[in-house]
Structure 1
Amino acid sequence: MQLDGIAALVTGAASGLGAATAAHLAKNGAAVYGLDRTVPAQSPDGLTLLQGDVTDEASVRDVVARAAEGPAPLRLVVNCAGIAPSARILSKRGTHDLDLFHTVLKVNLLGTFNVMRLAAEKIAETEADEHGQRGVVVNTASVAAFEGQIGQIAYTASKSGVAGMTITAARDLAQYGIRVMTIAPGIVETPMLAGLPEEVQASLAKTVTFPQRLARASEYARLVSMIAEHDYLNGETIRMDGAIRMTAR
């Protein structure tokens, strides 16, 4: 599937992985619609940023409809929206807050599913290409889905769920010509990490096997485009992590 001439929807598009992905897709000819809870007054070139909440059905329906109503067919959906608060099951402050656990699952897992199902509905209405393909959904998990660290119980549960949905979603949507893939990033250089002291960033980089540095958001974006263009990738989670294997801390 070529990026040029299609419409793409990216969640969490105002910053981090989502912003890098949206910019990369727009640069490569896609009409990009970004969904985020907070958006700047003016959208970057080639990107239409729309305010919305991935956990809210009406909100997502509106954004998906906007992305699908343009002249370019909606073919690509990238779920980058997510949160990562930290808390232990049991600590000096007591037990893990149940509402916090619920919120993380709601945003990361239910939000991903909500966008995927509503976008798939619109993608299924488009005309298939000569190979029967209509579109691609790329979800975002994390290496924490496989090696969650201390304090990541809620985040790990949510990202494990995203990775776990992949093969079932691919099977469910195959009859409509829609592929589903998941990326599990390692430690990515995002605005949040950029605010940490240089020595902390260097310490994190040393935990990566090779190349011994933090991943770049632009590398995630390039992987998204590769997945979109590689028609035989389906139903799998790709680790983008420099062969890191997370320790307990």
Structure 2
Amino acid sequence: MEISSKTPAIVTGGASGLGLATAKAIAATGAKVAIFDMKEDEGEKVAKELGGTFCKVNVTSEEEVDAAFAKAREAHGQERILVNCAGIGNAIKTASRDKNDGSIKHYPLSAFDFVIQVNLVGTFRCIAKSAAGMMTLDPINDDGERGAIVNTASVAAEDGQMGQAAYSASKGGVVGMTLPIARDLMKEGIRVNTILPGIFNTPLMNAAPPQVKDALAASVPFPKRLGLPEEYAKLAMVMLENTYFNGEDVRLDGAIRMAPR
């Protein structure tokens, strides 16, 4: 897909981190970008800087997602690009013993479900609604392409650490649905790919103590550093622009394989 000023795009989680870097990369082509995020102040600021539109949205809410798509399309037209970066994580063991009294507790199912709802169901919700909209568009090239979607999973989908059962399950679900969705949409000319990032220097990671960041960087085979959001954005752009890139799940991790803890 050739991205230009005539290529409306939506980036979920676009107010910070991987989503922000991707929104900037897309906007640099002249495309209008709608930022879907819960962070209103940051989102409004980013949208203003990029000449786009901010939509406050919680991807677990059907009503908010519908309203956000409506607002984005009213501002820029039906999107041809969707990049899903919205997500959360937590660290809770499936079952564990209290360090003080030895009592046994299990993972709160409500907490498990919340991670699944945001990372997996929220991603699918945005994919389904965006794809339905893309199907109304005319093809833009000789291959019959109508749109392209990029999702964000995690290396935890393949080698999750202790306490990451919910997170790994949610991201594994994103990986698992990539090819079936690409097949669902193949006759409509809509491509679907997924990136599995490793340890990236996002705002959340910036809050960690320097020694923690240094230890994580040292665990990466090469290059021995945390990933840069701009490097994620570069891969996302390749997936969007290369029409033969479809149905793939690609690790972007400096060859790291996560240890149990």
TM-score norm. by structure 2 comes to 0.92
Rounded Cα–Cα distance in structure 2 between residues aligned with 1:122 and 1:64: 9
> Which runs of at least 4 in structure 1 moved beyond 2 Å after TM superposition?
41-44, 65-73
Q: What amino acid is aligned across from residue 60 of structure 2 in structure 1?
A: T
Which one has the largest radius of gyration?
2
1:100 aligns with 2:111: yes
**Shift of residue 146 of structure 1?**
0.1
Q: What amino acid is aligned across from residue 68 of structure 1 in structure 2?
A: R
Rounded Cα–Cα distance in structure 2 between residues aligned with 1:44 and 1:198: 32
2:84 to 79, 84, 87: 79
Rounded Cα–Cα distance in structure 2 between residues aligned with 1:229 and 1:133: 11
Rounded Cα–Cα distance in structure 1 between residues aligned with 2:110 and 2:121: 15
TM-score norm. by structure 1 comes to 0.96
1:174 aligns with 2:186: yes
1:143–1:71: structure 2 CA closer, same or farther, 3 Å change rule?
closer
**Shift of residue 28 of structure 1?**
1.9
Give the number of aligned pairs.
Answer: 249
What is aligned with 2:23?
Answer: 22
**Shift of residue 72 of structure 1?**
5.1
- Aligned ranges for residues 59-70 of structure 1 at < 5 Å? 59-70=64-75
Q: What amino acid is aligned across from residue 178 of structure 2 in structure 1?
A: T
Rounded Cα–Cα distance in structure 2 between residues aligned with 1:126 and 1:69: 15
**Shift of residue 67 of structure 1?**
2.6
> Does the Cα contact within 8 Å between 1:12 and 1:81 map onto a contact in 2?
yes
1:210 to 209, 212, 222: 222
Q: What amino acid is aligned across from residue 82 of structure 1 in structure 2?
A: G
1:189 counterpart SS class: coil
Rounded Cα–Cα distance in structure 1 between residues aligned with 2:72 and 2:193: 20
Rounded Cα–Cα distance in structure 2 between residues aligned with 1:174 and 1:65: 25
CA deviations 1:137-178 (Å, max 9, x no partner) are 101000000000000000000000000000000000111110
Work out the percentage of aligned pairs sharing the same amino acid: 44
**Shift of residue 202 of structure 1?**
1.0
Rounded Cα–Cα distance in structure 1 between residues aligned with 2:189 and 2:15: 29
Q: What amino acid is aligned across from residue 31 of structure 2 in structure 1?
A: A
Q: What amino acid is aligned across from residue 19 of structure 2 in structure 1?
A: G
1:229 to 235, 238, 241: 241
> Does the Cα contact within 8 Å between 2:151 and 2:193 map onto a contact in 1?
yes
Return 50-59 or 232-241, whichever deviates more: 50-59
Rounded Cα–Cα distance in structure 2 between residues aligned with 1:161 and 1:192: 23
**Shift of residue 112 of structure 1?**
0.2
What is aligned with 1:91?
Answer: 96
1:112 aligns with 2:123: yes
